[in-house]
């Protein structure tokens, strides 16, 4: 096959597989430290056992666009890929498989279980990276990392020990978010707060002397078994006389004090709050201020324990029901109100979280957050869009200590050993041979592992070799930009900033480009439970990776969510086909093209000057939008240039000049402009649609092995031609007006119309005379240009554009009487249908009983029919004037 021979239809599958293999085999994605200016991105590491979803597809498409663009600009680009061990998710997957075998992790023991997880990782861990290749991700796969590989694990231990020695890591009892199903703590930002309908229970707590009582309101009556006080606001006149007295805890009989604390909101409920320090984070703080005991009544499996007395052994929900019954029977339940409130759920398994007192490892965040706040305030890190700066700063200024221990087996095990003889705590990278205090060899390592985010917080520098001082670390750090979703600013972005500043003494990235989520067509998050997810691999199979990429980026604005519509996906595929067909036409007419013998600018026609000028505007605008991270706008500019200006106008204008037998100089000039603009457009489009552009670019005259390293098109202001653009704008408007008249009059496409253009004899008339061939070719007509008319042509359709009177005699083109009859019949049918719809919409019964979507569908149908009727009436009016 010669380079000019293209299949009639575009086959994305064959093209994508061929070129990705070519890129990877030739190591075009790989980079080494050199003298060029670096541009680096670290990929947000997906779960090692996960699979590509639309969020990944969007995130990695945006990164790939930036990397491919900067690579073509001559930067030494590194896009460093990797995967995360995803402690909770991966362990849960393996435990599910064990359960199918009738076994648990305890049957295997820790060592054998971890062997099983590593085997699982080896079997399934490459799936998502393979899928990223299908998407076209141009990562440096030779540098792929894993959060638990040797280098990253060394970095994790180094960080833990340094923070521990600096007093920034400590172990203490505190309220944590406990997932009874995953059987581990999760951080505050991993808790999803979902509004749920519930009840507010009003319970009477009698004062010890029996002469008074306080009524409290709670949504979680099962926790009252762990109450140790009732708190009121110190300025609340209703309760001031009761502060310092004791009351009796219903059902339990325990005496406890009435305390005053400003935490209490006098306007909520009754203004009195039960204090349960072991099961509520706010109560825990109140308890610390007032030196209250901590009574824990719920176990880690969400079952009531010994402290719950007669309710011991009950599940927390069963306990709640029984407590309500007992309170009612004993006269303590005053009333129950419906009350919707936010309930914390585990983001992994959707189980309701249980706030619980537990001894865990924490990072002291306040001193670490202060430099991270300054870095953003001083502009050393810039958020795009800017509004996310405020969100980041608000969270950082109110940050709480980070619980980093997880009750899992899969993950980075906490590098701490406890002496079983003297209780010494020893932090060490390697197992200590003996106790540093008493010399005992009876040591046990902490059973917990570190939070997954602890290791991924080090990602920008641990992946480049830290704590070793590698050439890559010195060259590529700080990275240039982080591309990530708005939903993990707190999970990951903030923690990377904190870690980078503390350990590298510099920011981890200069800019943070935030994108939104990919939602379904109704604006809902894609999820398994809703069944509304779309598999990117299925889309790649049906539409091609380029179409998926282009659909995800067009219409996408930084920070905003994107709705997935299959209609937009079809539109992107149509765009790919349009590019293919236009390129095929061009290549069919370039077989004898010799770039070395192309004529100079003096041979350019108006169409040549116009398309070169518009191409330069496209180069300028696309580059500018990429610089400002407006990737959706860059894609829009490309789409409009390729589809509207290059394909629909220039190619149609240039066709007659390409036919053999025409003026050879003019033909060579047309070939040269066509080839140059097509090649340059493929280079501009390459970051967005890498596969089809490589396929076409390789067939065009070019230099180099791959479009990936073709120089990014430079804006050449000297090729902007405002005169040519202005003249073409006039011609295009005249052509559109003639096409509109043909359409309105229903002139058959195959018929050539006679058109009279009447001007005032100004420069427009001269322009129309000189370029009447453009009008005749694109509007399928014979043109006469006149400065005035002796008389209006009989039976002529009439229009005006740019001050030019347009007359199109209809004799011989259409049967006017027949067309009038057809339109009147069509109008009657449309009006009849419209009356039916209006009747429905005027019926109160229909409006009240029909579902909202049905009513809206009828309204939309009504608007459509009304518009159609109006258009037909306009055409009738035109014909009747004729």
Q: Rounded distance, CA 812 to CA 311, Å?
A: 96
Residue 564 tokens read as: 């997935």
Cβ–Cβ under 8 Å, residues 179 and 348: yes
Cβ–Cβ under 8 Å, residues 514 and 383: yes
Cβ–Cβ under 8 Å, residues 473 and 347: no
Whether omega for the bond prior to residue 619 falls within 30 degrees of 0, making it cis, is no
Write the CA distances from 136 to 358, 484, 686, 701, integer angstroms: 46, 18, 11, 24
Give the chain's count of helices (H) and strands (E): 29, 31
User: Which residue, among 81, 304, 290, has the nearest Cα to 180 in the 3D structure?
Assistant: 304
**What is the rounded (10 degree) CA torsion for 208, 214, 218, 222?**
10
Whether omega for the bond prior to residue 467 falls within 30 degrees of 0, making it cis, is yes
User: Which residue, among 360, 357, 359, 350, has the nearest Cα to 181 in the 3D structure?
Assistant: 350
Q: Rounded distance, CA 637 to CA 630, Å?
A: 11
Cβ–Cβ under 8 Å, residues 520 and 563: yes
Beta-carbon contacts of 234 under 8 Å, excluding residues fewer than 6 positions away, are 240, 243, 260, 261, 262
Residue 732 tokens read as: 């295009």
Residue 567 tokens read as: 């209609």
Q: Rounded distance, CA 618 to CA 732, Å?
A: 19
DSSP class of 430: S
Beta-bridged to residue 444, according to DSSP, are: 418
Residue 332 tokens read as: 């303590």
Q: Residue 35: how many CB atoms within 10 A of its CB? A: 5
Gyration radius (Cα) of the chain, Å: 36
Beta-bridged to residue 808, according to DSSP, are: 797
Beta-bridged to residue 196, according to DSSP, are: 341
At 200, is the secondary structure helix, strand, or coil? strand
Cβ–Cβ under 8 Å, residues 63 and 43: yes
Beta-carbon contacts of 473 under 8 Å, excluding residues fewer than 6 positions away, are 461, 464, 465, 466
Greatest C-alpha distance within the chain: 118
Please state the separation of Cα 566 from the chain's center in Å.
17
Query: How many residues comprise the chain?
Result: 882
Q: Residue 37: how many CB atoms within 10 A of its CB? A: 11
Cβ–Cβ under 8 Å, residues 746 and 800: no
Beta-bridged to residue 427, according to DSSP, are: 416
- Tell the residue number behind the tokens 């490459």, with chain if given: 126
The β-bridge relationship of strands 272-275 and 229-232 is: antiparallel
Asked if residue 528 belongs to a known ligand binding site, the reply is yes
Tell me the binding residues. 528
Tell me the binding residues for ATP. 528
């Amino acid at each position: 096959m010669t380079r000019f021979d293209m299949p009639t239809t575009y086959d994305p599958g064959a093209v994508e597989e061929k070129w990705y293999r070519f890129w990877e085999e030739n190591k075009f994605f790989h980079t080494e430290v050199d003298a060029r200016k670096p541009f680096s991105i670290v990929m947000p590491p997906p779960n090692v056992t996960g699979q590509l979803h639309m969020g990944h597809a969007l995130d990695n498409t945006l990164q790939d666009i930036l990397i491919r663009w900067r690579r073509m600009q001559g930067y030494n680009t590194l896009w460093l890929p990797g995967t995360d061990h995803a402690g909770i998710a991966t362990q849960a997957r393996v435990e599910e498989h064990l359960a199918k075998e009738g076994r648990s992790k305890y049957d295997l023991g820790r060592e054998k279980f971890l062997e099983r997880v590593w085997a699982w990782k080896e079997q399934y861990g490459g799936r998502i990276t393979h899928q990223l290749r299908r998407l076209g991700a141009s990562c440096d796969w030779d540098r792929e990392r894993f959060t638990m590989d040797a280098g990253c694990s060394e970095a994790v231990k180094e960080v833990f020990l340094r923070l521990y020695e600096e007093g920034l890591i400590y172990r203490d009892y505190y309220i944590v978010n406990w997932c009874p199903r995953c059987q581990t703590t999760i951080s505050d930002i991993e808790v999803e707060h979902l509004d749920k309908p519930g009840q507010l229970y009003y319970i009477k707590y009698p004062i010890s002397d029996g002469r008074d009582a306080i009524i409290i309101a709670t949504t979680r009556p099962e926790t009252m078994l762990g109450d140790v006080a009732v708190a009121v606001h110190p300025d609340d006149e209703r309760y001031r006389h009761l502060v310092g007295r004791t009351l009796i805890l219903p059902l339990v009989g325990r005496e406890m004090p009435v305390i005053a604390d400003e935490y209490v909101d006098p306007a909520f409920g009754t203004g009195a709050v039960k204090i349960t320090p072991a099961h509520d984070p706010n109560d825990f703080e109140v308890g610390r201020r007032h030196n209250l005991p901590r009574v824990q009544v719920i176990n880690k499996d969400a079952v009531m324990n010994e402290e719950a007395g007669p309710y011991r052994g009950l599940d927390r929900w069963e306990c709640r029901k029984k407590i309500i019954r007992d309170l009612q029977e004993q006269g303590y339940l005053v009333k129950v109100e419906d009350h919707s409130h936010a309930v914390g759920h585990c983001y992994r398994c959707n189980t309701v979280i249980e706030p619980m007192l537990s001894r865990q490892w924490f990072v002291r965040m306040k001193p670490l957050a202060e430099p991270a706040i300054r870095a953003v305030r001083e502009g050393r890190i810039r958020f795009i869009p800017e509004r996310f700066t405020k969100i980041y700063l608000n969270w950082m200024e109110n940050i709480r200590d980070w619980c980093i221990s997880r009750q899992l087996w899969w993950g980075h095990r906490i590098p701490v050993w406890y002496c079983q003889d003297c209780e010494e705590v020893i932090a060490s990278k390697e197992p200590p041979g003996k106790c540093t205090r008493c010399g005992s060899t009876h040591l046990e390592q902490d059973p917990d592992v570190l939070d997954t985010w602890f290791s991924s917080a080090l990602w920008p520098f641990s992946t480049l070799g830290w704590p070793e001082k590698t050439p890559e670390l010195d060259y590529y750090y700080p990275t240039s930009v982080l591309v990530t979703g708005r939903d993990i600013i707190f999970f990951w972005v903030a923690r990377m900033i904190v870690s980078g500043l503390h350990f590298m003494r510099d920011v981890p990235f200069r800019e943070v480009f935030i994108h939104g989520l990919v939602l379904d067509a109704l604006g809902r998050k894609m999820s398994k439970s809703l069944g509304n997810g779309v598999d990117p691999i299925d889309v790649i199979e049906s539409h091609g990776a380029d179409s998926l990429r282009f659909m995800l980026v067009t219409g996408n604005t930084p920070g905003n969510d994107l709705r997935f519509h299959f209609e937009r996906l079809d539109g992107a595929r149509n765009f790919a086909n349009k590019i293919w067909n236009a390129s095929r036409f061009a290549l069919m007419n370039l077989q004898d093209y010799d770039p070395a013998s192309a004529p100079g600018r003096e041979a350019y026609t108006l169409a040549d000057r116009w398309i070169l000028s518009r191409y330069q505007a496209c180069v300028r605008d696309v580059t500018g939008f990429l610089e400002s991270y407006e990737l959706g706008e860059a894609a829009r500019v490309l789409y409009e240039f390729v589809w509207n200006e290059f394909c629909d106008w220039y190619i149609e204008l240039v066709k007659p000049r390409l036919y053999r037998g025409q003026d050879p100089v003019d033909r060579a000039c047309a070939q040269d402009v066509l080839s140059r603009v097509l090649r340059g457009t493929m280079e501009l489009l390459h970051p967005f649609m890498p596969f089809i552009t490589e396929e076409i670019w390789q067939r065009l005259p070019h230099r180099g092995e791959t479009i990936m390293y073709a120089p990014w098109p430079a804006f050449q202001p000297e090729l902007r031609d405002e005169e040519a653009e202005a003249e073409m704008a006039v011609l295009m408007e005249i052509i559109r007006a003639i096409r509109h008249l043909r359409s309105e009059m229903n002139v058959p496409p195959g018929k050539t119309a006679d058109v009279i253009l009447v001007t005032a004899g100004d420069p427009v008339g001269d322009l129309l005379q000189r370029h009447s061939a453009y009008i005749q070719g694109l509007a399928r007509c014979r043109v006469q240009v006149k400065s005035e008319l002796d008389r209006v042509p009989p039976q002529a359709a009439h229009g005006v554009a740019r001050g030019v009177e347009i007359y199109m005699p209809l004799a011989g083109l259409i049967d006017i009487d027949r067309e009038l009859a057809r339109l009147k019949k069509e109008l009657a049918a449309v009006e009849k249908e419209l009356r039916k719809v209006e009747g429905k919409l005027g019926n109160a019964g229909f409006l009240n009983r029909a579902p909202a979507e049905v009513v809206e569908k009828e309204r939309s149908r009504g608007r459509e029919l009304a518009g159609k009727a109006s258009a037909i009436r306009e055409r009738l009016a035109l014909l009747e004037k004729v």
